[in-house]
Amino acid sequence: MLIARDHPDLAAVVHRPATRPVMPADVVHATLDRLERVAVELLPAWLPEIAEGVRPDTVGLAAVRAAATARARRERYPGTFLPDLARYAVTGRRATTTPLPVRTRAAALARLVAGAFGRRRVVLLVEPAAADGAVVAAGATWLGQHGGPAVWLVGVGGEGLPEFRIGPPPALPAWTGTVVGKPHPGSDVEKRLEAALAAESWAAGRRWNQSFQSHGLATPVRLDLLWPDERCVVEIDGPEHCRPVHYEADRQRDVQLQLDGYAVLRFTNARVIHDVGAVVQQIGTYLRARRRDMAEGRQHGRR
């Protein structure tokens, strides 16, 4: 499901509920908690004043709160929503202030996350169990009516609910838990590599968790890290990639990417964790060589 290509005004976030909803209110609260986690991961995209990093001490938190309060006033975010969210992002602790009304929180989170991606609206892709479709639909309807995120149901749980966007389930597992354009929120390895790359000027142009489709009939796949101009793909492999089926699938992907003109650099989780400097150096060596070849008119692979 290529949201970024077909709907450039939408920011797509996959949401797979951890527990089955009993009431529509369960859907609403789980959806907003998911959006809040995404917003926390996106800092400092929505508060660039603290892009250089902030210490979670008294002085640092005061600076964060001041910056968030100033933006909230400029852009008319409700109450202490932005300062509390910024504090939570920096410290990992929720504020003890009175929570916002649910509809106010829904509208504020949807607006903030969409803006952080530079998009007009955020849409959550949800794959409910077949028995939960009606409950999820009711919760999604409430969100849509109160300024919250759009919700698109995918898979068999959305069948028979024509008022919602229904899509095929095969595309969902590849995107589970990811935010297009950012490191996986649950991957310390991706975040560690991103932190190291952020300090290198040559690393500009990188894109995390992008969809790739070799041709119109091919199944879209997710690329961990991509430099599109240089046609360089970086894949980070966890222990599961050693299993025979997974290993074979990786090799088939690599061959197809190479036939399409991409270089594929693979590193294990352990390599990134224990020697991220060497990983960054190797990526930089390839990209600089690739850029020299491009400047001199030499081609790598098929254009």
- State the distance between the two ends of the chain, measured CA to CA, in whole angstroms: 24
Tens of pLDDT along 76-111? 999 899 999 988 888 888 877 778 899 999 999 999
Confidence of residue 3 (pLDDT cuts 50, 70, 90): very low
Q: Round to whole Å and give the CA distance between 194 and 173.
A: 23
Cis peptide preceding 44, ω within 30 of 0: yes
Predicted confidence (pLDDT) per residue in 250-275, tens digit? 888 888 899 999 999 999 888 998 89
- Has residue 181 got a pLDDT over 90? no
What residues does CATH 3.40.960.10 cover in the chain? Answer: 188-295
Of 48 and 143, more confident: 143
Nearest to 43 by CA among 8, 67, 79, 62: 67
What is the pLDDT confidence band of residue 171, given thresholds at 50, 70 and 90?
very low
CA dihedral 245, 250, 255, 257 (to 10 degrees): 140
Query: Each residue of 116-144: pLDDT tens digit?
Result: 877 788 888 887 776 677 788 888 888 88
Q: Which CATH superfamily is domain 188-295 in?
A: VSR Endonuclease (3.40.960.10)
C-alpha dist (Å) from residue 172 to 30, 55, 124, 157 = 18, 37, 12, 13
